[in-house]
A and B are shown apart, each in its own frame.
Chain A
Amino acid sequence: MSADANHEPNISHAIGNPAVIGQIKTLFQQQLVTQECADGMPTLWVDAEHISSLLALCKHQLQPAYSMLYDVTAIDERVRCHRDDQPASDFTVVYQLLSLEGNAFLRLKVALLAANLRIDSQCDLWPNANWYERECHDMFGIDFIGHPNLYPLIIPPTWKGHPLRKDHPARATEMDPFSIDEEMQDEEQEALRFVPEQWGMQRTSQNTDYMFLNMGPNHPSVHGVFRVALQLNGEEVVDSVADIGYHHRGAEKMGERQAWHTYIPYTDRIDYLGGVMNNLPYVMSVEKLAGIEVPERAKTIRVMLAECFRIQSHFLFFGTFAQDIGQMSPIFYIFADREMLFGVIESITGGRMHPSWFRIGGVAHDLPQGWHLKLQEFVNMMPARLDHYQKMVMDNRIIKQRTVGIGRYNSEQAIDWGVTGGGLRATGYDWDMRKRMPYSGYENYDFDIPLGSNGDCYDRAMVRLEEIRQSLRIIQQCIDHMPSGPYKAEHSLTSPPNKQRSMEDIETLIQHFVNSSWGPPIPAGEACLPIEATKGINSYYLVSDGSTGSYRTRIRTPSFAHLQMIPTMGRGMMVADMIAIIASIDFVMADVDR
C-alpha cells in the first residue's frame, strides 16, 4: 500500500506500511528489533527508556504521522514457548498506533523483566493513554511512571492480584469457595465511595459548596452498569469522573482457557448489540494466523450479516437516544423494526441477538433457500420508515435545542482520545475502515460514508441514522450479487472441520476427530485484524503459542476509548446535557469492560 495520504482503497487488507520501519530506523538512533507478525503489521521492539521518545517521534515526526494511540496492552510472556527471535521479556507492553492519514497500524513492544515492571506513562502525549495504562496496571501490575492516578479502573479497589497474569486463576474452581459476610460487604461498599480529593477535586470553592452526585452504576440513562461521579454547582457539571468495571467478565482471560473455536460465542457478547459483527475481527485474526483464505461467498455472507447487525445496533442507539432526551415513542417503533430484522437474522442463522454464526474459515451453514425474500422485504420497507424517524426525531425542534452544540469536540480532540467510528465521522473527519483499509471484500461495494460537521450530539446521531441507509445499500448489493460456491474454506484448520473427506481415509478421520474435540491447533504467531464495528474500530489481538487455545486475547473495543472522553465533553454542561452526551456516544458497557 502507498504511504502517502491519498485515499485509494487498499485491496489486500494490509494493515501496516512496511516502509515505516526503514523510516523509523533512519530517524531513531536507538537499537530496535523487528518482529515478523502474521498480520503483517510492522512490529518493533524498543527499550523501556526509549519508548517515550519513539512514541513522540511516531506521533510528530513520521510522515504520515501515527496520530492515534489505538491500544496499549501487555502480554505475560513467562510461560510462552514460541518466542523465536523476540527479546527476553517477562511482561511485554504493546502499543498499537494508527495512522489515519496513512491508513496503517504500527505495533511497538517493550520488554519488561519481572524484577522491574516500570515504564513511562504516555498520558502527556496522548490523553487516552490514561485508562489503557490503568487497565494494564490492574491486569498485570505494571507501574506507569508519571501517571496522574493509577487507581484501579476495571477491578474493584479491594482486589488482590493481577487477573491477566498467567499465575492468576481463571476459574472459580481453582479458588476457595467465595462468600461475603456483612463486614466485608460494608468494606466493599465503602471502597466504592467517591472521594473527590482523590481526583484533584475541591469540595468547596469561594462561593459555593459542590454537590457530588453518583450517576450510576444503576441509573436509567447510563446504558448498563456505569458510574459517572458528577461535581455539581447547582445543575451545572463542573467536572466528572467516569468509573467503569462493573460489567467486567474477564473476557480476555476466558480467551486463554477456551479453544479457538469455542471462544466464538464469547465474542458475540462483547458488544452485545453487534452480534456476529463481533465474530468477524476474531475469526479474521484466527484465519490470518492459520493461513486460511475465506471463499467469496462466505465473505459476502459475513458482510451481509455484519451490516444487518450494524443496522440493529444503530436502531437501538437511535431509539435510546430519543428516549434519553425524553421522547418516549421512537424506541417502540424502532423495536418493531428490530424485531422484523431479528426475524430475518433468525431465519438465516437460527439465532437472534447472539447467533455466534461465523466460523474459522467461513460461516456455520449455507444460506437457507429463499433467504433473500424476507431480507428484501425489510430493505424495501426501511427507507420510508427512516424518513419518518428523521422527521420525528432529528427534525424536532426540542431535540435540536437539546443536542446541537452539546458535547462538542473537534477531529483533533477525537483523534487524541482514540475516538473512532461515528464519533469521529461526526466531526467531519472522513475515516471509515471499510473504505480506508477494506476487509472481507468491502472494496467491492458501493456505499458512502456519512459525515457530520460539528462533532456534537446531534451530528453523532445523524451520522448513525445515515449509516443505516448506507448499510441497507450494502445489503441490497449482497442480495443482488451473492456469489455461489462454498460457504467455508477448504482447509484442515477450519472449525468445525469439513467432514466429506474424513469418510474416505483414516488420516483425515483422525484429524477431523482431533479438530472437533480439542479444536484446531493454530500455528504460533500474532495477529490483529481490526474492523469497522458498529461503534468504532474493534479488534482482537491474538497471540498463539501453537496450541488449541489462544495464549493472549486482547480485545480492543471502541466504547472503552469513547467513554474516557465523557468528562472532557461534559465540563460546564448541565445534568441534562450529560444525559444527551451519554446517549449520543453509542456504547454498551459489555463493550467497555469486556
Chain B
Amino acid sequence: MNAVLVQIINVVVILLFVVFGAALLTWVERRLLGIWQDRYGPNRVGPFGSLQIVADMIKLLMKQDWVPPFADRLVFIVAPAIAMFVVVAAFAVIPMAPGVGVIDLNIGLLFFLAMTSLGVYAVMFGAYASDNKYALLGGLRAAAQMVSYEVFMGLSLMGVVMLAGSFNLREVVLAQADGWYIVPQFVGFLIFFMAGIAESHRTPFDLPEAEHELTAGFHTEYSGMKFAMFFLGEYVSVLMTAAMITVLFLGGWLGPAWLPPLAWFLLKTAALVLSMILIRGALPRPRYDQLMAFGWKLMLPLALINLLATGALTLM
C-alpha cells in the first residue's frame, strides 16, 4: 500500500514538474535571450517577471477555443493532444535519481525512441487538418525532418547501449559510475544533441515553424489552448532532450556527494537547456534541403562509423 502511494506521489510530482518546468522554461528562455540580446525580456509580472507564465496561461486559457471552419475538426483537436501526450509519456522512463522516476522499463530507451517518433504525427495531423498552405509546407518539412533525424538519433544511442549492455535507463546511469559516456561516446553525444534539437523544432532546426518563411508553419491556424499545447509540448521536449542527454551521456544523477543525486540531475539538465537556448540566440537557420543533406550525408555516416567503432572496441 505504502509503495503504491509513493509511486502515485512520484508520478504526480514528476508530471507537475515537467509541465510547470516547461512553462517556466518559456520565461527563462525569454529572460535569458533578453539578457544576451542587450534587453530586458519580460520583467513586469511578479519578481523579475517570473509570474509572466501565469499571465500567459491566463491569456491562453481565456482565449476563444476556435476551430477554423475549413479545418478537419476532429484531427485538428486531436493533434495538439498527441503532441503533448507523447513527450510527457516519454518522460515517464527517465530516471531522475534513485527512487525518483515514474517507471523502470527494461526497454526504456526503445520506449523513448518510440514516443518521440510518434511526435511527428502531431505535427502532420495539425498541418493536414488546418487546410492551410503554410501549415502544409510546415507539415511536409516537419515530416521529412523528423523522419530523417529519427534514423540517426536512434543510431547515435546504440553506442551507449553497447557500452552499458542494457536498454534500461537506470542501468545505463549506473554503468557510468566509472566514467560518463560523453567521453567514449562524444560523437554519439553530439549527434544526439543535434537530433534532439531537431526533434523539438528549435533553431537552427526550426524549419517546420520557420517564422520568417512560413509565418508559424504547421500551427499557423492554432490559437488559444490548443496552440499552448503545441508550444508547451515543444518545451517539454526540450526538457526531455536535456534530461535524456544527462541520463545517457552525463551520468544522470551521479556526482560528488555534497549535493543530493536529484540536484545533480537537475543541474546537468538545466545546463543543457541553457546551452540550447544559447544556440537559439546565436545561429541562423539553414535551408530545408541543406538540413536534409546535413542529416543524411554527414550525420548518418558519422553515426554509423561511431556505431562500428564502438562495436569493434566493445568486442576487443
B190-217 with Cβ < 8 A to chain A: 203-204, 206, 210-215
Q: Mark each residue of chain B from 114 to 143: 1 if its CB lies under 8 Å from any CB of chain A, else 0.
A: 000000000000000000011011001100
Contact B213 A575 (CB under 8 A): yes
Residue among B134, B136, B206, B287 with most chain A CB within 10 A: B287
Closest residue to A336 on the B side, CB-wise?
B38
Contact A220 B285 (CB under 8 A): no
Contact A324 B212 (CB under 8 A): yes
Chain B residues with CB below 8 A from A211, complex form: 133, 136
Which of A220, A324, A327, A332 contacts B283 (CB under 8 A)? A327
Closest residue to B284 on the A side, CB-wise?
A327
Alpha-carbon distance A402/B212, docked complex (angstroms): 14
- Is residue A251 contacting chain B, with contact meaning CB distance below 8 A? no
- Is residue B290 contacting chain A, with contact meaning CB distance below 8 A? yes
B284-304 with Cβ < 8 A to chain A: 284-290
A191-226 with Cβ < 8 A to chain B: 211, 213, 219-221
Closest residue to A392 on the B side, CB-wise?
B282
Contact A329 B215 (CB under 8 A): no
Chain A residues with CB below 8 A from B214, complex form: 575
- Is residue A328 contacting chain B, with contact meaning CB distance below 8 A? yes
Closest residue to A211 on the B side, CB-wise?
B133
A347-382 with Cβ < 8 A to chain B: none
Contact A332 B284 (CB under 8 A): no
- Is residue A323 contacting chain B, with contact meaning CB distance below 8 A? yes
Alpha-carbon distance A574/B140, docked complex (angstroms): 14
**Interface pick from A134-142, A393-401, A500-508, A526-534:** A393-401
Chain B residues with CB below 8 A from A28, complex form: none
- Is residue B261 contacting chain A, with contact meaning CB distance below 8 A? no
- Is residue A33 contacting chain B, with contact meaning CB distance below 8 A? no
Chain A residues with CB below 8 A from B134, complex form: 213
- Is residue A383 contacting chain B, with contact meaning CB distance below 8 A? no
Contact B37 A329 (CB under 8 A): yes
Chain B residues with CB below 8 A from A326, complex form: 203-204, 206, 210, 212, 283-285
- Determine how close the nearest CB of chain B comes to the CB of A218; give it in whole angstroms: 9
Contact B37 A333 (CB under 8 A): yes
Which of A324, A332, A401 contacts B37 (CB under 8 A)? A332
Contact A576 B210 (CB under 8 A): yes
Contact A398 B283 (CB under 8 A): yes
- Is residue A235 contacting chain B, with contact meaning CB distance below 8 A? yes
Residue among A326, A333, A336, A575 with most chain B CB within 10 A: A326
Chain A residues with CB below 8 A from B282, complex form: 327, 329
- Determine how close the nearest CB of chain A comes to the CB of B59; give it in whole angstroms: 21
- Is residue A325 contacting chain B, with contact meaning CB distance below 8 A? yes
Chain A residues with CB below 8 A from B210, complex form: 326, 576
- Is residue B281 contacting chain A, with contact meaning CB distance below 8 A? yes
Contact A328 B33 (CB under 8 A): yes
Closest residue to B141 on the A side, CB-wise?
A235
Contact B213 A402 (CB under 8 A): no
Contact B203 A332 (CB under 8 A): no
- Is residue A117 contacting chain B, with contact meaning CB distance below 8 A? no
A568-594 with Cβ < 8 A to chain B: 574-577, 579
Contact B284 A576 (CB under 8 A): no
Alpha-carbon distance A574/B289, docked complex (angstroms): 9
B78-134 with Cβ < 8 A to chain A: 133-134
- Is residue B36 contacting chain A, with contact meaning CB distance below 8 A? yes
Closest residue to A337 on the B side, CB-wise?
B38
A230-255 with Cβ < 8 A to chain B: 234-235
Chain A residues with CB below 8 A from B38, complex form: 332-333, 336
Chain B residues with CB below 8 A from A327, complex form: 282-285
Which of B215, B280, B284, B289 contacts A322 (CB under 8 A)? B284
A316-346 with Cβ < 8 A to chain B: 322-329, 332-333, 336
B2-52 with Cβ < 8 A to chain A: 33, 36-39
Alpha-carbon distance A211/B136, docked complex (angstroms): 11
- Determine how close the nearest CB of chain A comes to the CB of B212; give it in whole angstroms: 4
Chain B residues with CB below 8 A from A333, complex form: 37-38
Q: Mark each residue of chain A from 380 to 410: 1 if its CB lies under 8 Å from any CB of chain B, else 0.
A: 0000000000000000101101100000000
Contact B137 A235 (CB under 8 A): yes
- Determine how close the nearest CB of chain B comes to the CB of A208; give it in whole angstroms: 14
Q: Mark each residue of chain A from 153 to 191: 1 if its CB lies under 8 Å from any CB of chain B, else 0.
A: 000000000000000000000000000000000000000
Alpha-carbon distance A399/B280, docked complex (angstroms): 15
Alpha-carbon distance A401/B280, docked complex (angstroms): 18
Chain A residues with CB below 8 A from B140, complex form: 234-235
Chain A residues with CB below 8 A from B204, complex form: 326, 398
- A398 and B137 in contact (CB under 8 A), knowing A326-B206, A333-B37? no
Which of B39, B137, B284 contacts A575 (CB under 8 A)? B137
Alpha-carbon distance A402/B133, docked complex (angstroms): 23
Contact A328 B281 (CB under 8 A): yes
- A398 and B288 in contact (CB under 8 A), knowing A213-B133, A326-B206, A328-B203? no
Chain B residues with CB below 8 A from A235, complex form: 137, 140-141, 288-289
- A398 and B285 in contact (CB under 8 A), knowing A324-B212, A326-B212, A576-B210? yes
- A576 and B213 in contact (CB under 8 A), knowing A326-B204, A336-B38? yes
Alpha-carbon distance A213/B137, docked complex (angstroms): 10
Contact A329 B288 (CB under 8 A): no
Alpha-carbon distance A332/B281, docked complex (angstroms): 11
Contact B284 A402 (CB under 8 A): yes
- Determine how close the nearest CB of chain B comes to the CB of A213; give it in whole angstroms: 5
- A220 and B215 in contact (CB under 8 A), knowing A333-B38, A398-B284, A577-B287? yes
Chain B residues with CB below 8 A from A325, complex form: 212, 284-285
Which of A234, A398, A579 contacts B212 (CB under 8 A)? A579
- A401 and B213 in contact (CB under 8 A), knowing A329-B281, A332-B37? no
Chain B residues with CB below 8 A from A401, complex form: 286-287, 290
Contact B284 A579 (CB under 8 A): no
Chain B residues with CB below 8 A from A234, complex form: 140
Chain A residues with CB below 8 A from B289, complex form: 235, 574
Residue among A234, A323, A329, A396 with most chain B CB within 10 A: A329
Closest residue to A234 on the B side, CB-wise?
B140
Chain B residues with CB below 8 A from A324, complex form: 212
Alpha-carbon distance A329/B284, docked complex (angstroms): 9
- A328 and B280 in contact (CB under 8 A), knowing A333-B38, A402-B287, A579-B212? yes
Contact A219 B288 (CB under 8 A): no
Contact A579 B213 (CB under 8 A): yes
Q: Mark each residue of chain A from 296 to 323: 1 if its CB lies under 8 Å from any CB of chain B, else 0.
A: 0000000000000000000000000011
Alpha-carbon distance A220/B134, docked complex (angstroms): 13
Chain B residues with CB below 8 A from A577, complex form: 287
Q: List 21 A-B contacts (CB under 8 A).
A: A211-B133, A235-B289, A323-B212, A325-B285, A326-B203, A326-B283, A326-B284, A328-B33, A328-B37, A328-B280, A328-B281, A329-B36, A332-B38, A333-B37, A336-B38, A398-B283, A399-B284, A574-B289, A575-B213, A576-B210, A579-B212
CB-based closest 9 A-B pairs: A326-B285, A327-B284, A332-B37, A326-B284, A221-B212, A576-B287, A325-B284, A398-B284, A324-B212
- Not counting A211-B133, A219-B215, A577-B287, a sample of 14 additional A-B residue pairs whose C-beta atoms are within 8 angstroms of each other reads A213-B133, A220-B215, A234-B140, A235-B288, A326-B210, A327-B284, A328-B33, A329-B37, A333-B38, A396-B284, A398-B286, A401-B286, A574-B289, A576-B287
